[in-house]
Structure formats: structure tokens, C-alpha cells
Amino acid sequence: MTHFQQITNEPAHLEIERLTVAYGRRRVLDTISFRVEYGERVVLVGPNGAGKSTLFKALVGLVKPQSGTIRIHGLPPGAHRDCVAYVPQREEVDWRFPVTVADVVMMGRFGRLGWFRRPTRADRIAVERGMELMGIAHLAHRPIGELSGGQQQRVFLARALAQEPHILLLDEPFTGVDAATQEATLSVLDALRDQHVTIILSTHDLGLAAAHFERVLLINRRLIGDGPPARALRRELLTEAFGGQVLTLPDGLVLVDQCACDHPETESIAIT
Amino acid sequence: MSILWSWIIAPLEYGFMQRGVLAAALVGILCAIIGCYVVLRSMAFLGDALAHAVLPGVAIAYLMGTNLTAGALVAAVVVALLIGVFSRQGVIKEDTAIGIVFAAALALGVALISSVRTYAVDLTHIMFGNVLGVSPADLWLIVGIGAAVLLTLLAFYRQFLVIAFDPVLAATQRLPVELLRMLLLLLIALTIVVSLQTVGVGLVAAMLVTPGATAYLLTRRLPAMMAVAALIGALSSIAGLYLSYYVNIASGAAVVLVATATFTVVFLVAPGRGILWRQG
């Protein structure tokens, strides 16, 4: 972690200290600690059930930690209404709901609007920009039920962009989407880096994680690896995180075989 | 033309029929609009449970000689809260909690009413409505509570939209999700109470669900869905009442049957979503 401390004297935007989350008696996250600095870009990897989604939910205050602390700008989660945007997995909402793309993206502004203020010009511009960045402006008045999986993912991202967050959390944005959506998402993430938006993204795709992110958090209930891809995705750490799903070939290739819910095609390769 | 006109106008010569038509139309509109949330959030079973839960409240109010509507209202709120409490901790599922509370309330209601000598008549009225017995005071109550419910829905439109579509987003935006859910239950309870006179405990769930489900097939945005549902609710209520007048059948049942017939037709032929359309 040392090489991150030299970046800045700014306060850490995200500090997680000895975070433990349990559902009933089952510990989903076990004494996890890490810091994410201002504008950093972090990818979260680990097998199914490793607690990736739970970590996100804890960060936005949707699940209560059993112990440990989360600090955002030095304050507990919930102190900020809209500085953290969370893009959940697509299955979390009913896509047959009678709303249009523009309606959903506008929901990203509701946190700012408060209870009774009507959307202003600034809100509409933010909505427009979010849709344009994700290439869905032409779908603005379509009902969401008519969209493809990739387009649905873009709607969620556009909504998060409309929120103009400082910290963006994306849960499996590449699962089950087309190549074009993946490209659009990656290029938006690049643009956000220039605006110093802190990004934490989870994925099954270890190759993509290694190619596009400077820091990897490898978790399976505990934090197993933390650092640049070459360091965090070493063979012994992958074996520890993925257990029997790891196959080491004679030439040093490490295969990680995992089935993402209904997408059994995922088979990522990391080279050590 | 004049025959049709007199056919429409004839029943309205009676004051009770005028009040009945007005009450049925207002209740039809109110149920249909709030019913859109019931449809979208899959709360049909909950609506039915709340309606039946009103029974013991009415019975207790009758036994105590107080206002029946007030009794119904108190009972509906208590049951809404009980369901919320039972299912909140995730120990049992919400539909199980509803099943338990709903059957218990119904049993309590029947037990209490059966202890009253003249229960047969009253029970029928409560179960299936008595729209032709609407007094001017009842009508004012419907107007007052209906206006309060609709204004609340309008004021919190954005919040109800978010918790219905994406409760996770609502929670990350620090909306009081539980409180808003309770408020929605309370509004549904109020709607049910003012509907008792027209369609009764047994059939109010149909008025909450059927017009909303029909409008869902015809529209693509929530405000449009609410407007179409309100229109269907009002027209089915009025048409049902005329049907009951001329064919001489129970008014609440007639209203629900007209609404169901409308749904069936739309289900078959709705542009883009109807069964026939898909096959054609």
C-alpha cells in the first residue's frame, strides 16, 4: 500500500477498517481493511459468494456492518446524500416497470432535489449528458422494457453519471453485456478518471481487471490480495481466493474457472 | 337516441341512485389510481388482506355503537402495521405474515359479528357493499378522504415512484423507505375503507387491481397508466351500477364483472401486448 500514500496529503476518500458483515450467523465479510485515495480506480475480484456485492451494499449503507468502520470523506456512509453513486446488478429492478429511459436517468437527480423541489434546467442537462455519454440519448423516450441487456446496463450507468458522484461503485457491469456496452463503459471510466472520480468496480473477468485497472482487491470473505495486478493476482493468492477453481498448467498459466450466475461462459486467464 | 337517453336518465330520478353513481365513480377512480402501485409492487394479496381485516373493526364499532367507518379505519391501520412488523425482520416472509394476520382478522370479525343478533344483513352489506344505501354524509366522506389520498400521492409522487421501481436507489438516497411503505399502506387502507360502501370487503381487491392491470397493458408510463386506470375504474363503476339496476343483480358484483370484462378484452387485443396481437 505504501506507494499510494505518496500521492497526496488529501484526506482518504474511502477508509474501511476491520469491516465485518454477517447475515445471521454467516460471516460474509471478515475484518476487511483498505483505503482508497482520491480519484483512484480499483477493481474488486473474487469468486461467487465472496462478498463483493455485500461490500458495495455496506459502502452505501444498505447493510449494517457487524463491526468495523467505513469512512467517506472522514464521515460515516449516509452523511452524504449523493456523493456516492451505486450501480447495482441489473436483476435488482423490475424492467417491465412503466417508465422511460429518461425517467430512470432523472431518478439519479432525486437525491439532490430533496423532497419537493422540481427538476431544473441543470437537472435536465445532467440527465441529457448522462444519456449522451452512454450513447442512449436516442432511446430517451423508450420504455425500459424494450431495451436489451446492454442498453439496460447503460441506463443504470447514465443514471449514476447524472448523479455527478465523487465515488462510483459498479457491481458486475460487464456481466451479460455486449462488447459495445463494455467499450462504452470503459471509455466513460477513462473520462471519469480525468475528473478525479473515485471508482470501485467488481468483475468476474480477471483479464479485463488486469488490463484496465492499476489496483486490484482480491477478496473471498477476507481481503486476500491488494495491489497492482501483477502483485494481487499471483498464483498463490488466486489459489487461496478461488480454491479448487484454479488450475495451474505446466507452462505457468493459471486458469480460473468460474460460473457467473447464468453466464457459464466466463473463463478467465491470468498469467503469472 | 331518445330511448338510450331515457334509459340512462331514468334511474337517476332517484336520489339514492344519483348518490350511488357518484360514489361508485369516485371510488372507482380512487381505487384505480392507488391500485397502480398495488399492481406494480405485486401487493394484490396485501390489498385483499387489508380489506378483510377491516371486518373486526366494523364489528367492534357496531357493538360499541360508534362510527363504523372510524372502526374500519382503525382496524385497517392496525393490520397494516402488524403485517409490517411481522415481516420486517425477515423471520417470516411477507406473504406468510399477510396470510396469518388476514385470516385471524377475518375470523375475529366473523366471530364478533355472529354475536350480534341481526348480523346476516349487516355482514352481507359489509362483505359485498350497498352502494344504493349511500347517504349524503357518506358521499362527503368519500370526497374528503379521496381528495386527501390523491393529494398525498401527488405530493410524494417522486418518492413513491423510486421506492416502487428501485428500493435500493431509494435507500442509497437516504429516503425513509420503511416510513414511505407504511404511508402507502395507510393510503391503501383509507381507500379500502371508503370503498366498503360500494363494492364491499370481498370485492374491493378487484377494484384495486383490475383497472390498474388493464391500464398497464395499454400504457408505457406511470402517469398515463394512472389516468387510464382511473377512466376504466370510473366507467366500470357506472356501467356496473346500470347493469345492476336493469338486470337486477348485486351492484358490487356487477361493477367488478364489468371491470373484469374490460380487462379480458384488453388482455386479448391490447396493441403490442395482447395475446391476439402477439400471435398475429
pLDDT on residue B271: 76
The parent domain of residue B208 ranges over 2-279
H helix or E strand, kind and range, residue B125? helix B119-128
pLDDT in tens for each of the 280 residues of chain B?
A: 688 888 888 888 888 888 989 999 999 999 999 999 999 987 778 888 888 888 888 788 878 877 777 888 888 888 877 777 776 666 677 778 788 888 888 888 888 877 776 655 566 676 777 788 888 888 898 999 999 999 999 999 999 999 899 888 888 888 888 888 888 888 988 898 888 877 887 788 889 999 999 999 999 899 999 999 999 999 999 999 999 889 988 888 899 999 999 999 999 988 777 666 666 5
> Which chain B residues are closer than 8 Å to A90 by Cβ?
none
Task: State the total domains in chain A.
Answer: 2
- Which residues of A touch chain B, with CB atoms under 8 Å apart? 60-62, 78, 81-82, 84-86, 88, 92-94, 97-100, 103-104, 107, 110-111, 113, 115-116, 143, 159
State the Cα angle at A105 between A102 and A111, rounded to 5°. Answer: 135
Give the pTM: 0.82
In chain B, whose CA is at the least distance from the CA of A100?
B221
The residue type found at B70 is A
pLDDT score, position A270: 46
Q: How many domains does chain B have?
A: 1
If asked whether residues A76 and A170 sit together in one domain, one would say yes
- Partners of B174 on chain A (C-beta within 8 Å) are 61, 78, 81, 111
Note whether B222 contacts A99, CB cutoff 8 Å: yes
Domain identity same for A184 and A152: no
A28 and A138 part of one domain: no
A58 and A183 fall within a common domain = yes
**Residues A172 and A150 placed together within one structural domain of the fold:** no
Chain A residues touching B166 at Cβ < 8 A = 92-93, 107
pLDDT tier at A101, thresholds 50, 70, 90: very high
Residue among A18, A6, A61 nearest A222 (CA): A18
Q: Note whether A98 contacts B164, CB cutoff 8 Å.
A: no
**Domain harbouring A235, CATH code:** 3.40.50.300
Question: In degrees rounded to 5, what are phi and psi of residue B170?
Answer: -55, -45
The pLDDT value recorded for residue A80 is 64
Q: Across the interface, do B166 and A143 touch by the CB < 8 Å criterion? A: no
For Cα atoms A220, A225, A229, give the angle at the middle one, nearest 5 degrees: 120
Could you tell me which residue, A117 or B262, shows the higher pLDDT? B262
Q: Find chain B residues with C-beta within 8 A of A59's C-beta.
A: none
Instruction: Dump strand ranges (E) for chain A.
Output: 14-23, 26-36, 41-45, 67-72, 84-87, 167-171, 198-202, 215-220, 222-227, 246-248, 253-257, 267-271
Domain span including residue A205: 1-83+165-243
Phi, psi of A131 (to 5 degrees): -70, -40
Within 8 A of B43 by CB-CB distance, chain A residues are none
Question: Among A143, A155, A137, A138, which residue's Cα sits nearest to residue B219?
Answer: A143
Note whether A107 contacts B225, CB cutoff 8 Å.
no
pLDDT band at A10 (very low <50, low <70, confident <90, very high): very low
Contact A107 B165 (CB under 8 A): yes
Look at A60 and B155 and tell me if their CB atoms are within 8 Å.
no
| pLDDT of amino acid B1 | 64
Contact check, Cβ <8 Å, A98/B222: yes
Tell me if B79 sits within 8 A of B49, measured CB to CB.
yes
In terms of domains, do A72 and A198 share one?
yes
What is the CATH classification number for the domain harbouring B27? Answer: 1.10.3470.10
* % of chain A at pLDDT higher than 70: 84
What are A210-219's pLDDT values in tens digits? 888 889 888 8
* Helices and strands (H and E) in chain A: how many: 10, 12
A185 to chain B, closest Cα gap in Å: 20
Q: Which residue from A98, A111, A113 is facing B220, i.e. has the nearest CB?
A: A98
Is A254 part of a structural domain of the chain? Answer: no
- Asked, for residue A269, whether it belongs to a domain, the answer is no
- Domain check: are A71 and A126 in the same one? no
**Rg for chain B (alpha carbons), in Å?**
19
Are residues A79 and A169 both part of a single domain? yes
Query: CA-to-CA distance for A217 and B6, rounded, in angstroms?
Result: 79
- Cα B207 to chain centroid, rounded: 5
Rounded CA gap, A224 and A52, in Å? 13
